[in-house]
Chains A and B, each alone.
Chain A
Amino acid sequence: MIKSFEPWLYLAPMLLFILLLVLVPLVTGISYAFYNFDLISGTRDFVGFDQFLRILSEDEIFLTSLVNTLFWTSASLFFQFTLGLALALLLHNGFRGIKFIQPVLFVPWAVPSFLIGLMWVWMFNPVTGPLPYLFEWLGFMDIPENILSDPDHAMWGPITANVWFGIPFFTIMLLAALRSIPKEIFEAASMDGISGLKAFRHITVPLIAPTIIITLMMRAIWIANFAEIIIVMTNGGPANSTQIVATYIYDTAYQKMDFGYASVLSIALLFMLMIYGFTLGHIRRKMKVYI
C-alpha cells in the first residue's frame, strides 16, 4: 500500500508546481466569466450565467468571428502544411546549394509576428507595396487596390502573412520525420519495383503520418489563438470581416475592458479547441505505428 504511494510522493513537488502554474491561473480565468468587472473602480459583481446567455442569444459578432476563425484556421493550415511538406520533400531530396538555402528558408519563423503584420500591410498597400500591381497585372484586379479594405477578400491578407510565417514550422517538423525513415525500407521497396509516387503514398506518408497528425493539431490550436497578425493588419475590419474569436477576445478585454465577457469568449474558444484536440488525439491513437 505504502509502496504504491511512494512514486507520488517523489512526484508531489513537481505536481504541486504544475498545479500552481497551470491550473490556478486557468481556474481563476474561468471564474472571471461569472463576474462583471469594472477594472478602474476595482469593483466586481457576481452575475452568474448571464454572460453565457449573452454569447448565445445577443452576440452576432461572436457568430461572425466563429465562422471567420474556421476559415482563418483551415486556410492557413492547408497552405502552411502543403507548402511546408513540399519544401521538406525538396530539402530531403537535396540539391546544389542546399546548405546555403536551408537556413534562409527558416528565417520567417524567427521574425516577430508584429513585424510580419507590418511588413505585409505595406506589401498590400498600393502606395508602398508591389502586390496590388502584381494582382492587376495578373488580371485579378481592374486597378491596384488594397485587398485589406475589401470585406470579401480582406481575410486573405492575414492568411498570406500567416502562411509565410508558418511554412518553416511544418518544413522543420516534416523534414525531421522524413529523415527518421530508415533508408533500408526504400531500398527493399525498390527491389520489389516500388518507387516514386507509389513509394511516397505507401511508405513515406504512413511513416510520417503520426508527425503530421501531431503538427496539424498543435498548429491548428496555435493559429486559432493567433491574433497578432490580424490585429496589426486589419484590426478585425473592415466591418468585422477579419474578426476571429481571438481578436474579439482582445478587443473585449483591452478596448472595452470587459474582462468578464472576454473570459466567456475564451471559455467558448477553449471548449471548441478541446473538442478538436480530443478528436485528433483519438485518430492518432487508432493509427497503426510502423516504426
Chain B
Amino acid sequence: MIRAAFSFVIVVLGFVAWQAFFDDKDRDPNNLLIVEVNTSADRTGLLRAQLDRFEADNPGLKVDVISLSWGQAFEKLSMMVAGGQIPDVIEMPDFWLARYVSAGQIADMSDFVANTGFDDDIEPDTFKYGSIGDKIYTIPYGYYLRALLYNKKLFARAGIEKPPLTMDELYQTAAKISELPGVSGYCHHGGRGGAVFYYWIMTTMNGSNAFFDAEGNSTFYNQGAIDGLTLIRDIYKNGYAPQDSLNWGFNETVSGFYSETCAMLHQTPDALNGLRQRMDEGDIASIPMPLGPSGKSFPHLGYIGWSVFEQSPKKEAAFKLVEHLLKRENHQEWATRAGLVPIYSELASEIFDQGEIGAGWLQSTQDDRWDYMINPNHLSDIAEFDSIQVVQSGQAMMLGEKTPEETAKMWADFLTASQKRWLNNHD
C-alpha cells in the first residue's frame, strides 16, 4: 500500500516536472505572442476571431494569446518580463506606459506609423496620446471616457425634473435625492480606480485640464482644485454618498447604482454591460460630466493601446498585427463591444447609443464645453500614485482626518516633484 502511494507521488511529481520543463513546448517559438490584460470570455473570443483573420491574411504567421485578468495583470506581466518571457505585442493601459518605456522595454512606433497608411479620419490626437516626448510607444485602440449615469426612476421619485448641468446642481441634486429613504445621491468611487474622479473635479473647478504650469508646478495648488475636493468631501460628509462607497471599486459602484443604493454614477461605458442586464433600460440615462465655474468640464479620457516589445525578435510582424487590429472594421467591432470612444472620428455616432443611455458620451465628444482630461501618464510613478497614495489620502480626507487643503497640497507636492524630475531628464 505504502509502495503504491509512493509510486503515485513520484509519478505525479514527474508529470509536474515534465510540464514545467516543457511548458512552452506547445507554443511554436516562430509564433507571435500577444498578451491581453483586460480579459473576459467574450472579449477574448472577439480578439481570437480577429487574430484568425490575421493568420488567414498572412500565411505562415500564427499568433498565440495569453490572457491576464485585470486585477493581477500588472504584477503577472512584470513577472513574465522579469522571467524572460517577452511578448511581441502587449495591450498597454495608459498609466503603465511610462514605467515600461523608462525601462527601455517598449519599441518606438514612430517609423511604423509614418509608413503605414492609416485612414485620414483617425483622430489626430491618437498618436499624441500614445507618445512620450516625440516618440510614439503605443497606439490607443479606443478611449474610456467618463460620463454621469443617472437613475431616471429615482430622479422622478425625488421630484427632480432635469439632471445636473453644473457643479452646484450636482451637489443640490445629490442632496435632494438623499432625502429618499435608503438612497444616496452619488455613487462615490473611493477605492482603487477612483483617482480620476478627484482629478476631474479638481481640473474642472480650476477651469483648465492642465496638470502643470510651464515650470512643472502642479495646478493642484490652485484654489479651484481645493474647492473641488471640498465639494466632494461635503457630498460624502453630509451623507449624499453611501457611507461604504469610501471603499468602492468599479464593481461596487455599478452594483450600488443598479441596486438603487445611489442614483448618479461617474463611469466609463463598460459599466453599461452590467447595468443593462440588471435594470430596465428605460430607467438609465447619461449626461456629460457637470460643468465647472468656467463653463467647461474635463472628463477623464483613459485609453488602452497596442504596443510592441523592444526585445521582440519579430517586430515587423508585430507591427503588422497592430495595424490589422486597428483596421476600421476590426476597430469598430472592438470599440462597439466595450462602448469605447473610437479612434476613427466618424464612428462615434455609430457606436454610442443614440437614445438617452448614450447621450452623455455622445455630447461629450461633440460639444466644445467638454474637453478631455488626460492623466499625466508620462510620469513613471503615476500608476502607484493613483492606485495607492491618492486612494488612501482621499479616504483620509473624506473621513475628516485631513483637510482638502492638506490633501491637495500633498498631491501637488508629489506631482510637482515627479514632473520636475521628468523635465530635468528630458531637457
A25 at the interface (CB under 8 A from B): no
Question: Bound state CA distance, A126 and B82, in angstroms?
Answer: 43
B79, B82, B391: which has the most chain A beta carbons within 10 Å?
B82
Residue of A nearest to B76 (CB): A254
Report which of B81, B82, B247, B398 forms a contact with A234, defined as CB distance below 8 A: B247
B243 lies within 8 A of A149 (CB): yes
Question: Bound state CA distance, A127 and B388, in angstroms?
Answer: 27
Chain B residues, Cβ within 8 Å of A145: 243-244
Number of A-B contacts (CB under 8 A): 76
Residues 138-162 (chain A) with a chain B CB within 8 angstroms: 145-146, 148-151
A41 lies within 8 A of B105 (CB): yes
Chain A residues, Cβ within 8 Å of B105: 40-41
Known contacts A39-B82, A40-B78, A151-B399; decide if A237 and B191 are in contact (CB<8 Å).
Answer: yes
Nearest chain A CB to B215 CB, angstrom units: 26
B244 lies within 8 A of A125 (CB): yes
Report which of B82, B244, B247, B255 forms a contact with A40, defined as CB distance below 8 A: B82
Chain B residues, Cβ within 8 Å of A240: 392, 396
Report the count of interface residues on B (CB-CB < 8 A): 35
A43, A150, A234, A239: which has the most chain B beta carbons within 10 Å?
A239
A235 lies within 8 A of B192 (CB): yes
Chain B residues, Cβ within 8 Å of A146: 243-244
Chain B residues, Cβ within 8 Å of A256: 384, 388
Residues 213-272 (chain B) with a chain A CB within 8 angstroms: 243-247, 255-256, 259, 261
A257 lies within 8 A of B399 (CB): no
Residues 237-285 (chain A) with a chain B CB within 8 angstroms: 237-240, 251, 254-257
A38 at the interface (CB under 8 A from B): yes
Chain A residues, Cβ within 8 Å of B192: 235
Residue of B nearest to A150 (CB): B243
Report the count of interface residues on A (CB-CB < 8 A): 27
A255 lies within 8 A of B190 (CB): no
B197 at the interface (CB under 8 A from A): no
B315 at the interface (CB under 8 A from A): no
A42 at the interface (CB under 8 A from B): yes
Residue of B nearest to A145 (CB): B243
Question: Bound state CA distance, A41 and B106, in angstroms?
Answer: 10
Nearest chain A CB to B208 CB, angstrom units: 29
Chain B residues, Cβ within 8 Å of A43: 103
Chain A residues, Cβ within 8 Å of B255: 127
Binary contact readout A40-52 vs B (1 if CB under 8 angstroms, 0 otherwise): 1111000000000
B395 at the interface (CB under 8 A from A): yes
Residue of A nearest to B393 (CB): A239
Nearest chain A CB to B404 CB, angstrom units: 15
Chain B residues, Cβ within 8 Å of A239: 392-393, 395-396, 399, 401
Binary contact readout B162-181 vs A (1 if CB under 8 angstroms, 0 otherwise): 00000000000000000000
30 contacts between A and B (CB under 8 A): A38-B103, A39-B78, A39-B79, A40-B81, A40-B100, A40-B105, A41-B102, A41-B104, A41-B105, A43-B103, A127-B256, A146-B243, A146-B244, A149-B244, A149-B245, A149-B246, A149-B247, A150-B243, A234-B247, A235-B191, A235-B247, A238-B190, A238-B395, A238-B398, A239-B395, A240-B392, A240-B396, A255-B387, A255-B388, A256-B388
Residues of A within 8 A of B (CB): 38-43, 125-127, 145-146, 148-151, 234-240, 251, 254-257
Taking A41-B104, A146-B243, A239-B401 as given, write out 20 further A-B residue pairs in contact, using a Cβ cutoff of 8 Å, ordered by the A residue number: A39-B78, A39-B81, A40-B81, A40-B100, A41-B103, A43-B103, A127-B259, A145-B243, A145-B244, A149-B244, A151-B401, A235-B191, A235-B247, A237-B246, A237-B391, A238-B190, A251-B388, A256-B384, A257-B74, A257-B78
